[in-house]
Amino acid sequence: MEPVAFLEILDRHGRVASRHRVDDLPLRIGRGYTNEVILDDPYVSPIHARVEDRGGLPVLMDAGSDNGIVLPGRGRVATLPLETGVRFRLGRTDLRFCTAEQRVEPALREEGGRFNPLALTRTSGRRWLVAAVAFAAIALQQGLSTYQRQTWVEPAGAAFTVAVFVAVWAGGWAVANRIVAQLFRFWTHFLWAAVLLVAFLLADVLFQYADFAIGLDAAARSLDFVTSVALGTLLLAGHLRVIGQIGRRRRLVTAVAIAVAVTFLVTAVNQADEDEFTTSLPSAGPLKPLSDKLLVRQTVDHFVEGTADLKAELDRLAE
Amino acid sequence: MRQARFWSLPGVRRALPLLALLGVPVTLPAQEGGATAAAVFERFSPRVVKIEIVETASGAKAVVGSGFFVTDRGHLVTNYHVVSKVIQDPERYEAKALEENGSTFPLTVVALDVVHDLAVARADVASPSHFALHAVTVEKGVRLYSLGHPLELGLSIVEGTYNGLLEHTRYTRIHFTAPINPGMSGGPTITADGRVVGINVATAGNEVSFLVPVARAVVLLDRALAPSYRVPSDFLTTVREQLLAHQDDYLAGLFIDTVATIEFGPYRVPTKPAPFFNCWGDATHDPADPYEVLDHQCSTDDYIFISSDMESGVVELWHRLLTSDELNRFRFYALFSDDFDQRNAWLQGSEDDVTPFRCDRSTVAGHGVTLKVQFCARRYRKLEGLYDAVIRAAAVGRPDVGLESVLTLSGVSFDNAQRLLRRYLEAIRWNR
């Protein structure tokens, strides 16, 4: 047999939970303390199985256990030659046998650069600064979009409500983080979500100003779609990066796929609403406090002449 | 089941002094003596029928109204809106008349005046007796009697008072003070000695009712009885042609030459485009709001029945000035933007009647003003060439004052909509 081999105990996701070096055979596996490999699984017998050397090949043999050796897809077996990479189950514990030839995935590279949510919480001072700036921005946006009399309380209250929603969202990610990577990282998820929310609001404001100034019209829908997908991807990819269990490529693919699916669904629902017959007018578009010198303007005549296309469209619709 | 209905017209009206109508007027004294409603009913009720519009497949009544004999050859006068389903969907509906004595006979529509909401129908029977139609003039305060089938409760007579002609309508309507109810549409309103004064057509509730002056029915009947008259094979074309001619005539004088304008804050805006517009306005400042609102509005009242879901013919213009010393420019534009977007069209209609709105929007350089303009239109599905159009304009670029303006046109040609769009935008000006 090979000089060095390992018995790996796997978790329910198939990842290695612990590893036992196999130097000498025979080797006993069970729940009792006399075994070389002890499995803390109530479905494993005190002496469950043993590995013996059969002509240079290690073979796993049932040692009169209650639940036996189970091969995925084949059921219970009495003996199992252990080739490298073979997976089997004792009781409810998954194990894998491998030798030093077993290939491993390349290491995940530590990524620096932009869009790193972990940078948000690198120091305690930065953490508070980011939170303060994000929620001040949200409070400001709320305060400037209402026209009833207000004190500082209303925008602050609105920002607090938003903070609660962000906290719930971040809490979900933190729990996932804890399950997958044994780290909670609530603050990082929270700040990342808050920063992205501010980015969403900012994109919306820019979008409205652009629409007001130059009239986005036909481009509006695709621009909206692209922005939503881009920011959605950034949000999801950031959370996944904080969790840190999958590589950059897979992370991006996952994030883009979810962002596209969600945006597409929302767009489709909105489109269905728009297609329903209604006697009310579509929105006239936002009005913004820009100097009229910044606006793309046309003459009355030019505008009126352009409406001829509407007539053709309506006549088509009426057929 | 649906009954033929009246439309309610908004606003409080003053009665006009008596006006001469077409034909040879017969003036009646204000005090009638002797005749009671009972005698009028006894004498004239056989000339009035109930009209039912029935869905042929199910036999169910779709509309119930009234009508009355006007010749000895079975000609009846009623409202267009009573028989409109037969015109719009002749495959699906048919009209029949029911006399007080229980006899029923089918009706054929022979002539229409959609603008005045009148129709002449013919039954293939000899009329038991009939009203001879002549133009009449009546003094205000004369007692009149309205006959018809209110709410399917049987032929009824309602006594009321003649109160002159409506002031702010291009097409004359009589203001009659009496509780006319749905189902009486198309029935006659007569003097005690049996002269038809008008045809029941609409109510605004609270005993404020409206009649089409008999002179319009005289014109329509004369046309239908002329030897050269041929009954159209497709009445929808007739409806369409009448509406197109009507709107050309109705809109011809609007916003041409010198446009009447008023000073509206720092702007000048168009007002009362023609005598048949009624204008009103108000300034409101709720102390709880950090802004002030000034409104000005002009509207016509010449409603034209298109279908049970839709009226047409009305032109309305509306201006609002928003000002604030208190709000910063961002918050002021949050108000301006929201308020402008809420200026929605009041135009009704079902998917059978009209297409959805389609709009163009742009920023337009006007006379000293920069206008955000949205022009929306929809087409009448069965009436080619007729559209509703709404023009929404907001004067932007100033941090503490905003002007919103909406022009609503219903039942107009696209050319007219474009022409009025141009005129209207040119009439909004900076006044300083």
Q: Mean pLDDT throughout A274-295?
A: 89
Asked if A147's CB is within 8 angstroms of B327's CB, the reply is yes
Contact A289 B362 (CB under 8 A): no
CA distance B233 to chain A (A): 22
The closest CB to that of B387, out of A291, A296, A314, belongs to: A314
Which chain B residue lies closest to A309 (C-alpha atoms)?
A: B360
Specify which residues B298 forms β-bridges with: B279, B317
Q: What is the pLDDT of residues A112-124, one digit of tens each?
A: 666 678 888 888 8
Q: Which of B345, B351, B361 lies closest to A285 in CB terms? A: B361
Give the pLDDT of residue B309: 84
Closest residue in A to B423 (Cα–Cα) = A300
So what's the pLDDT on residue A308? 93
Greater pLDDT, A104 or B241: B241
CA-to-CA distance for A95 and B386, rounded, in angstroms? 79
Nearest to A287 among B328, B372, B425 (CB): B372
Q: Is B242 on the interface with A (CB under 8 A)?
A: no
Q: Locate B184 and state its tokens.
A: 């009486």
Range with the poorest average pLDDT among A40-54, A91-105, B69-83: A91-105
The dihedral over CA atoms of B130, B134, B135, B139, expressed in degrees to the nearest 10, equals -60
Listed in sequence order, the DSSP H helices in B380-413 are none
- pLDDT tens digit string along B7-59? 333 333 322 222 222 223 345 544 444 458 889 999 999 999 999 999 999 98
How much is the pLDDT for B355?
Answer: 94
Average pLDDT over every residue of A59-65 = 90
CA distance B170 to B303: 10
**Could you report the per-residue pLDDT of B304-315, keeping only the tens digit for each?**
998 888 889 899
Nearest to B7, CA basis, from B223, B326, B301: B301
Give B156 to chain A, closest Cα distance, Å.
Answer: 38
pTM above 0.90, yes or no: no
The closest of A181, A180, A185, A156 to A170, measured between CA atoms, is: A185
What's the pLDDT score for residue A111?
67
Q: Does B332 contact A at CB distance below 8 Å? A: yes
Which ranges of chain B have pLDDT less than 50?
A: 1-26, 29-34
pLDDT digits (tens, 9 = 90+) for A211-247: 999 888 778 889 999 999 999 999 999 999 999 888 8
Q: Is B392 in Cβ contact with A281 (below 8 Å)?
A: yes
Q: What residues in A contact B359, CB-CB < 8 Å?
A: 281-282, 310
Q: What confidence category does residue A104 fall into, taking pLDDT thresholds of 50, 70 and 90?
A: confident
Region A295-308: mean pLDDT is 93
CB contact under 8 A, A215 and B327: no
Q: What is the pLDDT of residues A139-156, one digit of tens each?
A: 999 999 999 998 899 999
Chain A nearest-CA distance from B91, in A, is 19
Give me the interface pTM, i.e. the ipTM. Answer: 0.83
Question: Which residues in chain B have Cβ-Cβ distances shorter than 8 Å to A277?
Answer: 350-351, 356
Asked if B360 lies within 8 A of A306 by C-beta distance, the reply is yes
Q: Decide if A3 contacts A58 (C-beta within 8 A).
A: no
DSSP bridge pairs for B146:
B158, B189
Q: Judge: A299–B365 Cβ closer than 8 Å, yes or no.
A: yes
- Between chains, do A303 and B381 touch, taking CB under 8 Å as contact? no
